[in-house]
A and B are shown apart, each in its own frame.
Chain A
Amino acid sequence: AQSVTQPDIHITVSEGASLELRCNYSYGATPYLFWYVQSPGQGLQLLLKYFSGDTLVQGIKGFEAEFKRSQSSFNLRKPSVHWSDAAEYFCAVGPQGSGNTGKLIFGQGTTLQVKP
């Protein structure tokens, strides 16, 4: 079955510290991979995506993620966290190919708290 697992429900880091949010997926074929962020009361904002090619992808707000096929992982990282990064983060997978843009499967989300 297709699934996405974010093992950490809640993470607290100090401002200025580095961050890594974990994401593991189970998918029959090579998927498209995404990280989204959601602030309270808001919709989802796309941070970055992986389709093919270089396995280290850069996104907005200083985030990056690395695709590791052997580990079925797509972990999100940021070298120095800012207080404004406090939010909920979602990893998602979707099928490659036209006509499949709507079928994203999301992880349960990781809530990030930033300590001053």
Chain B
Amino acid sequence: KAGVTQTPRYLIKTRGQQVTLSCSPISGHRSVSWYQQTPGQGLQFLFEYFSETQRNKGNFPGRFSGRQFSNSRSEMNVSTLELGDSALYLCASSPPLGGLGSDEQYFGPGTRLTVT
């Protein structure tokens, strides 16, 4: 099976702009989670989507939002970008509940966002 894919891999944006990142989970996975990784704050949970519904949410401002489509692909959006939003954004997918390894998360390679 193909792994989790994220596009684009690298992105440079200017303060005040908005950005949309995309994540395609492993085939058959319905849960998609997003994390932000920075040198200062480490890995922080943004939100999780399951069956097109946000199931869990981390402690991030409303500028960070996401959605999930019926094919389980997910997008996250950051509006009004700030310099501090520069980070590696990681997406992870999980197998169906009750299935083998359903509490594991499989990570994609990430999208490196640089805000100037």
Contacts and interface: CB of A to CB of B under 8 A. Distances in A.
Interface in A18-55: 32, 34, 36, 41-46, 49, 51
Interface stretch (A66-74, A79-87, A101-109): A101-109
B4 A94 contact: no
Most buried by B among A34, A41, A99, A102: A102
B85 to A, nearest CB: 19
Nearest to A99: B55
A101 B31 contact: yes
A43 B47 contact: no
Most buried by A among B44, B92, B97: B92
B102 interface: yes
Contacts of A104: 33, 35, 43, 45, 105
Contacts, number: 70
A98 B108 contact: no
Contact of B105 (A51, A102, A105): A102
B109 A43 contact: yes
Interface residues of B, number: 28
B105 A103 contact: no
Consensus secondary structure, chain A interface: loop
Contact of B104 (A46, A98, A103, A105): A46
B94 interface: yes
B25 interface: no
A103 B56 contact: yes
Contacts of B42: 106-109
Interface string B87-108: 0001010100110001111111
Contacts of A94: 103
Interface of A: 32, 34, 36, 41-46, 49, 51, 90, 92, 94, 96, 98-109
22 contacts: A36-B107, A43-B90, A43-B107, A43-B110, A44-B92, A46-B104, A94-B103, A98-B97, A99-B55, A99-B56, A101-B31, A102-B33, A102-B45, A102-B47, A102-B55, A102-B105, A103-B56, A104-B33, A104-B43, A104-B105, A105-B45, A107-B42
